[in-house]
Amino acid sequence: FSQQSVAKFSKDNVNRFIKFIKEMLTQNLGYPRIGGQRQLKKACEQYWAGKIDLSELNKVARKIKEENWQTQLDAGIDLIPCNDFSFYDQVLDMSLLLGVIPQRYAPVLSEVKANKEIDLYFAMARGYQKDGLDITAMEMTKWLDTNYHYIVPEFTANQEFRLFYENVFGEHHAAKQLLSEKAKPVLLGPVSYLLLGKEKETGFERIDLIKKLVPIYVEIINRLKQQGAVWIQLDEPCLALDLSKKEKEAFDFAYRSIANRVSGVNLLIATYFDALLDNTQLAVNLPVTALHVDLVRAPEQLDEVLALIPQHLQLSLGVVDGRNVWKNDYENSLNILNKAVTALGADRVIIAPSCSLLHSPIDLDQETALDPEIKNWMAFAKQKLQEIAELKQLAEGDNHLLEANKQAIESRRASSKVHQHAVKDRIAAITDADATRKNPFPVRQQVQHERFQLPVFPTTTIGSFPQTDDIRQLRAKFKKGELNVEQYEKAIEQATIDAIRWQEEIDIDVLVHGEFERNDMVEYFGEQLDGFLFTKNGWVQSYGSRCVKPPVIYGDVSRPNDMTVRWSRFAAAQTDRPMKGMLTGPVTILQWSFVRDDQSREITTNQIALAIRDEVVALEQAGIGVVQIDEPAIREGLPLRKAKRPHYLDWAVKAFRISASGVQDQTQIHTHMCYSEFNDIIEHIAAMDADVITIETSRSQMELLQAFSHFEYPNEIGPGVYDIHSPRVPSTEEMVALLAKAAELLPARNLWVNPDCGLKTRKWPETKAALENMVAAAKQARQQI
Ligand code: GLN
Ligand code: ZN
């Protein structure tokens, strides 16, 4: 270098630096990685099937990453995430990076010849049945309160950590080529990494592993810094959870240790999905450059954060909703930004989405079939980037973007597509009586007993029967117009008749119609309710290569027509036995949709509840004596913070009761729940006051029934006697044993006999064999009491 060029170089740098510190920054926390056409899903599935090799898979991944980076660069984002990409799950990525590999996978490493690291990675995610090995997958669970599922890290007492799968450095290196110092590596922070995992042995607490874990984080951070990283994002969502004293100390310890051994790189701690609340003091005093807070979920936390924030800390304001599909209200966001700028100065403010955009669909521009008026109210991940950039311009005084946004927000606020007076009036008029059956359970039980004359241990199933290729093709052909309504309905009718005949033959007591006409338990209802819309391509990753396309609730919900009566009436007419009507409950419909952000979840749920209530009443009028309202998602709606749970449970239970209470005593209301722990919510389950609840219990060997027993659960209950998640056919004896166990815990007269869940993912042969054994088990159990 010549003298001059060196002088010029450093002058540019200084200028850039001055600009850097004076200006407000924008950032993103993470971008969807499935690709706009779900390329990653397809590539992974092909790789697993041996149809493409690793280099093909990597090519697809590289392309997605580069497109994502370019999109964010084009949008004008200052700090762009890298290492947010993952082939399966970002928490699993951390486990590989940190060398947290459960012992059972050792043979994959020693014996598998091919692509060791990636095959180990997928083995941990999906299990490994090849090369004479049979190793189970790691457990998967929900990522906080989202519908994304992560792979749960497994820790042992002598857990060691070491840099193992050093992917992050390559990711950052590649991102830097395109983004230079804007490339911001993302890691799950050390404390949340431990807390979100689980102990696989007794005798230790995983949080105590923090001392061993921190040095590896120091090493990673220092190497990223040496590679030229200017910012590093450490996600610590657990800072927004209830923390014990020890856990708080772990945060303090971890970040102080890191700060002592790392310098010259900006660390950003990202929190999201709730307020910091009692962790605010702790969070703002962690020795890092910046803290991110979620101001969509918890706008109220801003004041306290601003009051406590120390001089040195920069604040990232999560103002653009990363979890929903609505256009940002700029005026509202500007108020927040201005407040922060006034308190901190522009150079200490960063504009951001509330959380990673992983939870948003990718690109609204692809939705060419949406009603343009409604589309103008929406924003997907790509559009949200634009919003972040525009908010910066607005905060800097460039007002020309405000008007169009105001108009869109105003058009939604006033639109007759959103607001139905009749619905609002009905919501306002709901009374406690609407949420209460005519008589208490003992009275109803008597009436129903006389009506149905069921044996003890009555048998039933949860609703769906195998969705065979034939059935799926029927629906697909009908959708494409290759079958007309008559042809389609005839075929569905035949499948229904066959299922009913067969249930009679094996002597099931309360029958179902099989749900052959349904694609999905929420979509089926959303398609028939007003206030819902469906996107063509609004996919969001659920786990691994699995994506979901949730419906969007945009307006007041109402039910223009009967939804299930036609099929239930048809089914009931085929048999003399009781036929269960089959509905999805209001909380589950809410929970598995994108919801309105212009009214509370409670109100939206009550609107759905009224629609379901009308359907229940219509079924009753059509002569259907038993109606099941599925609520598998009640528990997953639980707020992260304990203090908020009672309120949620109150309104969620009430919504169910509203949907169930329009009928006479003699109509038997069932509900069904799976994937649930009931211990901490049993009183609320009881408050739902369903005449019969069926639950998933077989995998826990009736363990989950303990809660009902301790509580002396008063109503009838069907603890699942066999696991429907595998094709394995349970023996009669083992189901008899489970029933005996159940009868020790609860009065036999209240017990039903049924599988854990619906059978739609199963094949017919195993379904038939299993249900025949189940009926035999019920009959044996009847002899034994
Ligand atoms: N009735 C539904 C079915 O049988 C219930 C599904 C569920 O609980 N997830 O498929
Ligand atoms: Zn279920």
pLDDT in tens, 288-337: 999 999 999 999 999 999 999 999 999 999 999 999 999 999 999 999 99
| Cα–Cα distance, 484 to 480 (Å, whole number) | 10
DSSP 8-state class, residue 316: E
- From ligand 2's centre to the CA of 779, what distance in Å? 24
- For the chain, how big is the Rg over CA atoms in Å? 28
Q: Which two tokens stand for residue 291?
A: 């803290």
The response to whether residue 760 sits with its C-beta less than 6 Å from ligand 1 reads: yes
- From ligand 1's centre to the CA of 41, what distance in Å? 25
Rounded to the nearest 5 degrees, what angle is found at the Cα of 500, between the Cα atoms of 497 and 503? 150
The response to whether residue 521 sits with its C-beta less than 6 Å from ligand 1 reads: yes
The response to whether residue 182 sits with its C-beta less than 6 Å from ligand 1 reads: no
| Cα–Cα distance, 6 to 520 (Å, whole number) | 64
Tell me if 283 sits within 8 A of 291, measured CB to CB: yes
Write down the ipTM of this complex.
Answer: 0.99
Q: Is 359 a catalytic residue?
A: no
Q: Which residues contact 619 (CB under 8 A, 6 or more apart)?
A: 564, 565, 568, 581, 627
Tens of pLDDT, residues 98-143: 999 999 999 988 876 667 889 999 999 999 988 788 898 998 999 9
Tens of pLDDT, residues 629-644: 999 999 999 999 999 9
| Closest atom of ligand 1 relative to the 463 alpha carbon | 4
Of 107-116, 231-240, 483-492, the one with minimum mean pLDDT is: 107-116
Q: Which residues contact 734 (CB under 8 A, 6 or more apart)?
A: none
Tell me if 566 sits within 8 A of 618, measured CB to CB: no
Tens of pLDDT, residues 718-765: 999 999 988 899 999 999 999 999 999 999 999 999 999 999 999 999
- From ligand 1's centre to the CA of 553, what distance in Å? 21
Q: Which residues contact 425 (CB under 8 A, 6 or more apart)?
A: none
| Cα–Cα distance, 668 to 660 (Å, whole number) | 10
Question: At residue 506, what are phi and psi to the nearest 5 degrees?
Answer: -85, 0
- From ligand 2's centre to the CA of 633, what distance in Å? 9
Q: Which two tokens stand for residue 130?
A: 């090849």
Q: Is the pLDDT at 10 greater than 80, yes or no?
A: no
CA atoms within 13 A on the CB side of 302: 23
Whole-structure pTM value: 0.94
> Which helix (H) or strand (E) covers residue 129, if one does?
strand 128-130
| Closest atom of ligand 1 relative to the 464 alpha carbon | 4
Could you report how far apart the first and last alpha carbons of the chain are, in Å?
A: 94
Q: Which two tokens stand for residue 236?
A: 């610590």
List Cα–Cα distances, 1 to 7, 12, 16, 62, 228, in angstroms: 10, 15, 20, 35, 21
237 three-class SS: helix
Q: Is the pLDDT at 14 greater than 70, yes or no?
A: no
356 three-class SS: coil
Minimal-distance CA residue to ligand 1 atom 6: 758
| Closest atom of ligand 1 relative to the 758 alpha carbon | 4
Residue type (1 letter), 562: D
**Average pLDDT of span 234-241:** 98
The response to whether residue 512 sits with its C-beta less than 6 Å from ligand 1 reads: no
Q: Residue 2 has what pLDDT?
A: 47
> In the beta sheet, which residues pair with residue 548?
540
> In the beta sheet, which residues pair with residue 580?
626
- Would residue 689 be called left, alpha or beta, if left means φ above 0 and alpha means ψ between -120 and 50 degrees? left
- Distance, C-alpha 523 to centroid of its chain: 16
- From ligand 1's centre to the CA of 631, what distance in Å? 9
Q: Residue 514 has what pLDDT?
A: 98
Which DSSP string do the residues of 268-329 spell out, in sequence order? EEE--SS--GGGHHHHHTSSSSEEEEETTT-TTHHHHHHHH--TT-EEEEEEE-TTS-BPP-
pLDDT, averaged across the chain: 95
Q: Which two tokens stand for residue 408?
A: 């869109």
> Which helix (H) or strand (E) covers residue 239, if one does?
none
Cβ atoms < 10 Å from Cβ of 39: 16
Minimal-distance CA residue to ligand 1 atom 10: 758
Tell me if 147 sits within 8 A of 540, measured CB to CB: yes
Ligand nearest to the CA of 630: 1
- From ligand 2's centre to the CA of 575, what distance in Å? 25
Q: Which residues are annotated as a binding site for Zn(2+)?
A: 672, 674, 696, 757
| Closest atom of ligand 1 relative to the 757 alpha carbon | 8
Q: How confident is the model at residue 367 (pLDDT cuts 50, 70, 90)?
A: very high
Catalytically annotated residue among 513, 670, 684, 725: 725
Q: How confident is the model at residue 13 (pLDDT cuts 50, 70, 90)?
A: low
Nearest to 71 by CA among 178, 229, 171: 178
Minimal-distance CA residue to ligand 1 atom 4: 758
The response to whether residue 758 sits with its C-beta less than 6 Å from ligand 1 reads: yes
Ligand nearest to the CA of 759: 1
Minimal-distance CA residue to ligand 1 atom 1: 463
Minimal-distance CA residue to ligand 1 atom 9: 632
Tell me if 87 sits within 8 A of 46, measured CB to CB: no
Residue 575: burial class (beta carbons within 10 Å; 0-12, 13-18, 19+): middle
Ligand nearest to the CA of 720: 2
Which residue of 460, 520, 521 sits with most ligand 1 atoms within 8 Å of its CB, as the best mutation to test the pocket? 521
Which residue of 462, 516, 520, 568 sits with most ligand 1 atoms within 8 Å of its CB, as the best mutation to test the pocket? 462
Cβ atoms < 10 Å from Cβ of 494: 11
Q: Which two tokens stand for residue 166?
A: 């050093």
Minimal-distance CA residue to ligand 1 atom 5: 758
- From ligand 2's centre to the CA of 592, what distance in Å? 14
> In the beta sheet, which residues pair with residue 134?
129
Tell me if 36 sits within 8 A of 362, measured CB to CB: yes
